[in-house]
Amino acid sequence: MSITAKDLINQLNLTQSQSDHIEECIFLIKCSKHNEKIHKCAINMIIYKLKQYAHKINLEDVARLLAFYADSYLKEYINQKLQNITEYTYRPEEDFNFLRVSRNNEGQILRVSYRTSLLVDFLKDVFLIKFIGEDVAFWNGKEYRLGTSACLDLIGKISSLFDIDRLKPSDLYNTKLIKGALSQTNRANANLIPLKNCVVKIDERNPDIEHVKVQPISTALNITNSLNTSVKFDTISENTFIKFANTTYSKKADIAFNEWANYDPDVRANLEEFVGVCLYQKQFIRKAVILVGSKPRCGKSSFCDFLKALIGEENTSSLSANNFKERFSLSMLVGKRLNIGAELARGNLDDLTVANLKACITGDPVKIEEKGIPATTFCNQAKIIFNCNELPHFQDSALLSRFVLIPFEHQFPETDFTDDLTHDQNAINYLFLLGIKGLLRVLARVRQNKMGKTYTPLFTPSKRIAEYTAKFESESNHIIEYCHLAETKEDLIRQPEKKEFNTEQEYLNYTVKGAYIRFKAWCNDNGYYTKNNYPTCAKFKDTACRVLGIFTRKENYTNLSKLDRTGKARVQPLVFSVTPK
């Protein structure tokens, strides 16, 4: 039976500082498996610290702990070190050449400093620091972690582990370390999906379950954001994933999906496909998802929690729509697979929020800032999902087209069994399988669109989603909302009894220009648009004609309030009409 670091620490009754050091040692052991020399040095260090901190050590527990985290071929080396633990002496500067250790006459450590160039070499050799895409990344033993903040945390952890005096992570990061990493820029492979124990590889050219393969985790693969699931196997073969697909099922999760979709197979297919694109680290669909459900206990939160259990807490951010305009918030998306936003409030979003949302949904460059770090740009890879009880207003049609609305119309009982899904590993494995199948459907349509002459929507067509989308567009488009007012059509198409007007106001009552002015006044009364952000008169005209089934034509009017230089008052304004020209 294996023992975890937490179990051993609890047994030893260590202080918080000592516990942190043991966990940092284990972190170094996990990260250094590819470097045998440093791997052994990390084992030496944890044995020394355990001897130093604990009055009584169960050597069998320590052996099991190290066997769990260290490479199996070092079992004999570990046993030899433990047998001689009573006589074991340790000088960290001998194992880690970047350390400068000052001691007193009794050999006790007074101060630990570092040699900058050697420490940088150590960090690069052990943690394989490089650029993946636009983001700096380091190896954490199972994957590369992305982002400046994560890299600064790594340097801080190493500083704490060795008790290095006056090491400022930001100073080291902003100098030699980052410059050295710049020469190792790499591109991530979206077809590689890392799990806890292996990597699943998708074949874009053959997007079907038979061509999904499994391969070992390796530092040579630019993999990031491992999922909280695994594929069981004795040895990896060509059919490993097919065996996983044929034996993985959760009745509980299957029922939950049917109820979340209110037993609509097309809505369920859209849910599965969104899970699938969250597994694929590429913004190729250029869409975000809004879960819409006005009923209490309709399942929006339980679905998001279940998805988060698969994606992983550390791979998920939680920016609300309004956070997208805040100075430091966007940096939280770096190195994430998924952003689950809080309830999307009904109302208009400001220009900066809209601009940043569009850029993040489509994966276009956006400016980010982190405290103490120069501003930079990055291309977001996290998929975005929002919840809402009522459909929000979006005055930007380009943003409107970036959302897929998925209705949640089922009402769960007071005790919702779906809450247990987040703790059911079999259900999480099944969710991963559903996501892979959904992703393969989407990729097959992408390939079909590249090869064919007609365009196929990437998500499964759904009548219910189409109805919600039409309602969403109607309620988000204030011109359409204005056209649906009972008195609007009559106001637009009314004709004057005579075509001669004494005042400008009388004249405007019967023209497209005047109707547009009245529309803007109505928007002002309802607080719909910010200053100078109204849709154009041409857009108002075209939308009104489309929605109300009317036309425009030029009319011969006489406007006596505006005489031209020759004294004539005849004009030909554009007016609305129930008949074509």
9: part of which helix (H) or strand (E)?
helix 5-12
Quote the CA–CA distance of 138 and 123 in Å, as a whole number.
9
- Three-state DSSP class for 144? strand
CA dihedral 433, 434, 438, 444 (to 10 degrees): 40
Mean pLDDT across the stretch 57-76? 79
Quote the CA–CA distance of 231 and 253 in Å, as a whole number.
18
Share of the chain above pLDDT 70, in %: 91
Q: Is 140 exposed, middle or buried (0-12, 13-18, 19+ CB in 10 A)?
A: middle
The pairing of strands 199-201 and 365-370 is unpaired
Global confidence as pTM: 0.83
φ and ψ at residue 224, rounded to 5 degrees: -140, 160
Quote the CA–CA distance of 47 and 49 in Å, as a whole number.
6
If one compares 206 and 559, the residue with the highest pLDDT of the two is 206
CA neighbor of 342 nearest in space, from 392, 388, 399: 388
User: pLDDT tier at 247 (50, 70, 90 boundaries)?
Assistant: very high
Q: What is the pLDDT of residue 138?
A: 93
Mean pLDDT across the stretch 449-460? 86
CA neighbor of 273 nearest in space, from 316, 480, 265: 265
Mean pLDDT across the stretch 523-550? 84
User: pLDDT tier at 500 (50, 70, 90 boundaries)?
Assistant: confident
Contact of 574 with 511, CB cutoff 8 Å: yes
Does residue 179 have a pLDDT over 90? Answer: no
Quote the CA–CA distance of 513 and 460 in Å, as a whole number.
42
CA dihedral 36, 42, 43, 48 (to 10 degrees): 150
Query: Both tokens of residue 24?
Result: 């940092």
Give the N- to C-terminal CA distance of the chain in Å, as an integer. 86
Quote the CA–CA distance of 543 and 547 in Å, as a whole number.
6
User: pLDDT tier at 418 (50, 70, 90 boundaries)?
Assistant: low
User: pLDDT tier at 132 (50, 70, 90 boundaries)?
Assistant: confident
- Residues 372-413 have pLDDT tens digits of 777 888 889 999 999 888 766 666 666 778 889 999 998 887
Report CA-CA distances (Å) from 412 to 255, 257, 301, 418, 476: 12, 12, 12, 9, 29
CA neighbor of 388 nearest in space, from 466, 295, 450: 295
Contact of 331 with 369, CB cutoff 8 Å: yes
Q: What is the pLDDT of residue 462?
A: 94
- Three-state DSSP class for 341? strand
CB count in 10 Å sphere of residue 223? 23
- Three-state DSSP class for 297? coil
